[in-house]
Amino acid sequence: MNMKKILTWAGVAFLLYFLFAAPAQASNVVNGILESLRGAAEAVITFMQNLFVQ
């Protein structure tokens, strides 16, 4: 097995453990990531609007 496969499976195992061991914190992490992505998308939209509207 190569190192990439081992690290991938280790990451998946850690995520599953985190999900089952601390579901409230896991949901907070996911919500934080989604909120960051939403903020980034809104910033890009605002930039494009300001770029093309003026």
CA distance from start to end of the chain: 56
Q: Spell out the per-residue pLDDT of the chain, length 54, in tens.
A: 699 999 999 999 998 998 899 999 989 999 999 999 999 999 999 999 998 886
| CA pair distance 28, 24, nearest whole angstrom | 6
Question: What pLDDT is stored for residue 54 in this prediction?
Answer: 65
Output the six-digit token pair for 15. 């995520």
Question: What pLDDT is stored for residue 52 in this prediction?
Answer: 86
